Every structure is written in C-alpha cells, then in structure tokens.
C-alpha cells in the first residue's frame, strides 16, 4: 500500500513542505530512504524501527521504500522521524489514512517511541497553515510555540502510541495553550540605563540610535562603559510588536536557541571578534543563520570592531543595506531575515591610552583607522566618543539625574510613532533605514539650514554619504523633540556625531 504524510523542512527560516511517501510491498524485508536525505535521516530509519517496535506497533517485514519529496529540497535534522513512522503505519494499514490527509506532522522519535522536540516548530505551523492543513501534530514540548499560529489546530503528542490512538479516534489531546506571555506578567528585566554613571553624551547617542534605528560606533578607552551602554539598548527600544515577536521567535526556533515561548524582548547578540564571515552573516554547506540574523529586530554588538576580520565585517554589506541575507546553494537561494541595529565599539587608537599619553606612531594610527572603513562604517550614522568616568563618580552615591530605561523608552516610542506616520508608504519604518534618495526627500532644507550645513562642511569635508547621515540623525533629533521642522541646533548636534570629527581629534 502507498501512504503520503506531510511534514516541513527548514530552508533558512522558511518552512518548506515535504511529503513523505511510503510504499509497502511484498518482497525481501528492506527499508530504503530516498530523496536526498542527510545522515540524520538515515539514522532516523533506525529510530523509526525501534520506536515502532517498542510502542507495541508492528514494523512490517516487507519491502519498504520511503521517498521525501520534493527531492531538490535539502532535508536536515531528525524532525522527519515522526512523519516517516506514521507513513509506515499508514502504508501497513495500522492507522487509517483518511484522517492523515488534513494533518501535517513534525517530531523526533526516541527509541522508546516518545516524541522529542524539534527546531522550527513555529515555522512549521506557519507553513502548515499557509498550505491549508487543518491540524499540526507535534511533540508536547513544541506545541505551545506552534500554537502561537492562529487558524490551525495544534495537538501535543507525547508518544507514538498516543498518536496511533489519536488517529484511531481513541484519544484526544488537551487543547494547547499558545506560549504568549500573560499581559500582567512583567517583562523580563534587562539592565537599566540608570546604572550607567555620567556618560551623558553616550546616553544621548544611544537614545538617538534607538529612536531612529541608527547604527552607532562608540570610541573610547577600555573601562569607559561602552559595553555596559550597548547592553542597555534593547531595553530602551520599543517592545517587539506581535508580528516582530513572531519573526524573532521563528529565527530563534529554527536556530534551536528559543525558549519555546513568544519572544518578549529584542535580542542582543555580541559575537567575539574572532568570528568568521560565515558565523557573522550565516552560510555553510547546510546554511545556518549568522549572528546578524540571530540579532534580527534587535541589536548586534561588535566590541573591538578593528579586531574583527575584514572579510567578516565587509560581509555585513548586504544585510545592512537590505535587512536580509541571501545564501545561494546550487539551484536554490535561501533567505534569512537580518534587520538589526549594529552597535560597534573601539579604542581611539591601538595603545588605548588618553590622547596626551598616546604612544602610537602616525603610521599605527593610520593603519588602525583604515580598518574602520568599508560598508559597515559607511552605514554608521552616529559616532560618539566616550571617556572613562573618574573613579570618584563611579562610587559616588548620589547623582543629579538618573534617567531610567523606562523613561527613555517612552521618548523613543514617541519619536518612532512620528516616523511611522511620516514614512507611511515609503517601505521603511524609521529614519535610520532611509536610503540617500529618501533621506533627501524626507529631510528638506531651507536656505538657513543649507547655510548651516555648508558652514559645518566648511570646517570639515563632508562626503555625499556623510551628508545623508547628518540629515538622518538631525531628523531623528527633531523627532525626539516632537518637531516637524528641523532647527539649526538639530543639524549642529547631528554634525557632532561624525567619524571625521574623531579623525581630527585622533590626528
Ligand atoms: N559609566 C559607568 N557607570 C557605571 N559603571 C561603569 C561605568 N563605566 C564603567 N563601569 C564599570 O566598569 C565595568 C567595565 O565597563 P565596560 O562597559 O566593560 O567598559 P568598556 O566596554 O568601555 O571597556 C562595567 O561593568 C562597570 O562595572
Ligand atoms: Mg567593552
């Protein structure tokens, strides 16, 4: 008999429907898997056999052929076990096939027949709903995550025995509660901006970065608090919307780093500077998400930016420009979402001492700063200098104003709302994502403002891209002040966050 069971493979983070066809016929007992299976799937043959027998079900002594179609989709991981086992049951007449036609399944089997959780349950649920399945059968540990998808009935299955019972109509699982957070449950607590002493300029810069979605570079000596400030960026960004949280959860579920619940916070990823280009943007023969994708809708922090391999940093070009990563493997192109705010940090110079005690030669300085050019730095709108806070201030008990992350987040959200309204229909959501053309149409300058900008240019040369960066940042500063029109002071402040200002200081 022939049976067909639907399941889903992951291509990047996208669910791709796979049909498991099982043919059972008389002949020498064999169990053949075809359809480009990787080693995990060949191993799944052994798990399926043991799981069926240990569940008191029959493993047919027949010629069994299993085909995973379509053949061109690369299939990886153990999540096909369940569909293969159920295909064998249906082909050998041990469960009714009609009930299966409206179901999709995903799950790994243990040798005893228990179901083990798999990656990408949320992605599979989205795929199953899109493909029109009425029901998704998944391991218990995956069910709350899959149930985040409305419009498809998600059933939590503990074991193969239970699944056979369900298909025979002898057992019904409890309805699955989706893994959303209770609205009354407080958000997971992140580090607070109020912990940072002094550093008014850097706090202002990170607020602007959050408000406009701008990439930020902090330049300063070790111990100044750069890492500390960067870690506080997710806490001042607006909490993710439901749609954004679904995107974050899909990425993390596919990568196997989710906690099985809907993401309540934006991610913060801080890869070490020894990371490869592949680790940063994704790839490999069986492509995996890179750090920029794991940071999707959140923050990617690159500490000690000049220490990163040039190739790794340059590989960020496409994600920074397009908010996604494309990886081509043979005939197929995988796509990973990759829209994150990049925060980078570095020392002012290789010796990292204060300017008056700097021991670097001009050549060393030039070499260090040359490493700070290229596609990433081109996309950094804000550069801010951070000096170490004197020890007395760090231990001092009182401080005039300690603004909390809650207060800053409220200002950021108000500024974001203004951008959403103004940018409606433009394809971008915040000032930091505007390209050059959109920037110039969105931030018109009158004569007085043009003069001001030219005066700023007079002091320092400003490239075309530098010009756009200043306009974008000035626009966000005005948004933070709830103003439609730019003031000269907005331009002045924006002009102060430029890399060439730092060049001059360093030279
Ligand atoms: N402005 C600051 N306010 C409070 N603590 C600070 C500040 N700057 C540095 N520190 C302390 O010093 C530690 C090191 O700071 P860090 O953020 O790692 O500096 P950097 O990344 O600039 O080298 C922090 O964990 C914190 O305890
Ligand atoms: Mg640091």
Q: What is the pLDDT of residues 306-336, one digit of tens each?
A: 999 999 999 998 899 889 999 987 777 889 9
Cross-strand bridge partners of residue 155: 137
Distance of CA 195 from the midpoint of ligand 1 (Å): 10
Strand duo 324-329 + 332-337: pairing: antiparallel
Strand-pair partners of 115: 109
Nearest one of 203, 213, 193, 202 to 475, comparing CA atoms: 213
Question: What rounded mean pLDDT belongs to the chain?
Answer: 89
93 Cβ below 6 A of ligand 1: no
Query: End-to-end CA distance of the chain, in Å?
Result: 79
Measured in degrees and rounded to the nearest 5, phi and psi for residue 344 equal -120, 155
Ligand nearest to the backbone CA of 305: 2
Residue 492 Cα to ligand 2 midpoint, Å, equals 29
**Which residue reads 């083990």 in tokens?**
116
Which residue has a Cα nearest atom 11 of ligand 1? 225
- Closest ligand 1 atom to residue 386 Cα is 22
Q: Which helix (H) or strand (E) holds 108?
A: strand 108-109
Q: Per-residue pLDDT for 41 more than 50?
A: yes
User: Is the CB of 385 inside a 6 Å radius of any atom of ligand 1?
Assistant: no
For residue 345, the ligand 1 atom closest to its alpha carbon is 21
Residue 352 beta carbon below 6 angstroms from any ligand 1 atom: no
Identify the pLDDT of residue 504. 46
Does residue 270 have its Cβ closer than 6 Å to ligand 1?
Answer: no
Residue 225 alpha carbon, nearest atom of ligand 1 = 17
Rounded CA gap, 103 and 154, in Å?
10
Q: Rounded to an integer, what distance in angstroms lies between the CA atom of residue 473 and that of residue 452? A: 15
pLDDT digits (tens, 9 = 90+) for 406-424: 999 999 999 999 999 999 9
Ligand 1 center–CA 388 separation, angstroms: 8
**Closest residue to atom 26 of ligand 1, CA basis:** 225
Question: What proportion of the chain, given as a percentage, has pLDDT over 70?
Answer: 94
pLDDT score for 502: 55
| pTM for this predicted structure | 0.91
Q: Which residues line ion ligand 2, judged by CB < 5 Å?
A: 227
Residue range 182-214, pLDDT digits in tens: 777 777 778 999 999 889 999 999 999 999 999
Between CA 267 and CA 291 the distance in angstroms is 10
Which of 201, 228, 403 is the best mutation target for the ligand 1 pocket, counting ligand atoms within 8 Å of the beta carbon and taking the most? 228
Q: Above 50 in pLDDT, residue 507?
A: no
Placement of tokens 């730095």 in the chain: 377
For ligand 1, whether the C-beta of 304 sits within 6 Å is: no
Closest CA to 145 of 175, 173, 177: 177
DSSP conformational letter for 75: B
Q: 268 CA to middle of ligand 1, Å?
A: 18
Q: Is the CB of 228 under 6 A from ligand 1?
A: yes
* Number of Cβ within a 10 Å radius of residue 425: 4
Query: Which atom number of ligand 1 is nearest to the Cα of residue 221?
Result: 22
How far is the C-alpha of 472 from the C-alpha of 433, rounded, in Å?
A: 9
For the Cβ of 390 lying below 6 angstroms from any atom of ligand 1, the answer is no
Interatomic CA distance for residues 249 and 50, integer angstroms: 33
Cα dihedral 151→156→157→158 (10° resolution): 170
| pLDDT at residue 445, as a whole number | 85
Contacts of 218 (CB under 8 A, 6+ apart): 202, 205, 226, 229, 230, 343, 344, 345, 346, 384, 385, 386
Exposed, middle or buried, 5 (CB in 10 Å: 0-12/13-18/19+)? Answer: buried
pLDDT score of 185: 74
Residue 501 has pLDDT above 60, yes or no: no
Q: How far is the CA of 290 from the centre of ligand 1 (A)?
A: 28
Contacts of 2 (CB under 8 A, 6+ apart): 21, 22, 23, 24, 91
């Amino acid at each position: 008999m022939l049976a067909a069971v639907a399941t889903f493979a992951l291509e990047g983070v996208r669910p791709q429907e796979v049909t498991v066809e099982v043919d059972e016929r008389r002949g020498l007992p064999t169990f053949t898997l075809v359809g480009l299976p990787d080693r995990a799937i060949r191993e799944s043959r052994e798990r399926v056999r043991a799981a069926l027998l240990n569940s008191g079900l029959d493993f047919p002594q027949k010629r069994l052929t299993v085909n995973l179609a379509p053949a061109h989709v690369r299939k990886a991981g153990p999540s096909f076990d369940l569909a293969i086992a159920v295909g064998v049951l249906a082909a050998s007449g041990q469960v009714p096939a009609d009930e299966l036609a409206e179901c999709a399944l995903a799950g790994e089997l243990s040798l005893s027949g228990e179901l083990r959780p798999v990656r990408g349950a949320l992605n599979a649920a989205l795929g199953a709903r899109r493909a029109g399945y009425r029901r998704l059968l998944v391991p218990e540990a995956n069910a709350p995550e899959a149930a985040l998808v409305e419009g498809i009935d998600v059933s939590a299955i503990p074991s193969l025995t239970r699944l056979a019972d369900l298909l025979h109509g002898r057992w019904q699982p409890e309805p699955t509660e989706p893994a959303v957070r209770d609205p009354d449950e407080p958000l997971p607590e992140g580090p607070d901006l109020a912990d940072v002493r002094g550093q008014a300029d850097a706090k202002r810069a990170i607020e602007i970065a959050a408000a406009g979605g701008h990439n930020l570079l902090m330049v300063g000596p070790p111990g100044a608090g750069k890492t500390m400030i960067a870690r506080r960026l997710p806490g001042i960004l607006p909490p993710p919307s439901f749609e954004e949280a679904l995107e974050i959860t899909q990425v993390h579920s596919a990568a196997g780093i989710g906690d099985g619940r809907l993401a309540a916070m934006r991610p913060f990823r801080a890869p070490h500077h020894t990371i490869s280009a592949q680790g940063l943007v994704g790839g490999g023969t069986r492509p995996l998400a890179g750090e920029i994708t794991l940071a999707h809708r959140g923050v990617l922090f690159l500490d000690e930016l000049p220490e990163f391999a040039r190739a790794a940093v340059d590989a960020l070009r496409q994600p920074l420009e397009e908010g996604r990563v494309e990886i081509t493997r043979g005939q197929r192109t995988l796509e990973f979402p990759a829209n994150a705010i990049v925060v980078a940090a570095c020392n002012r110079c290789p010796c990292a001492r204060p300017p008056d005690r700097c021991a670097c030669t001009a050549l060393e300085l030039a070499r260090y700063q040359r490493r700070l050019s290229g596609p990433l730095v081109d996309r950094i709108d804000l550069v801010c200098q951070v000096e170490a806070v004197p020890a007395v201030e760090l231990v001092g008990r009182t401080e005039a104003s300690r603004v909390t992350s809650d207060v800053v987040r409220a200002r950021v959200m108000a500024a974001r709302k203004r951008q959403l309204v103004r940018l409606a229909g433009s394809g971008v959501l915040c000032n930091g994502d505007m390209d050059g053309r959109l920037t110039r149409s969105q931030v018109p300058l009158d004569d007085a403002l043009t003069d001001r900008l030219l005066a700023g240019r007079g002091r320092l040369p400003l490239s075309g891209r530098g010009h756009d960066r200043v306009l974008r940042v000035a626009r966000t500063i005005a948004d933070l002040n709830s103003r439609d029109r730019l003031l000269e002071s907005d331009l002045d402040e924006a002009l102060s966050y430029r890399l060439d200002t730092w060049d001059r200081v360093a030279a």
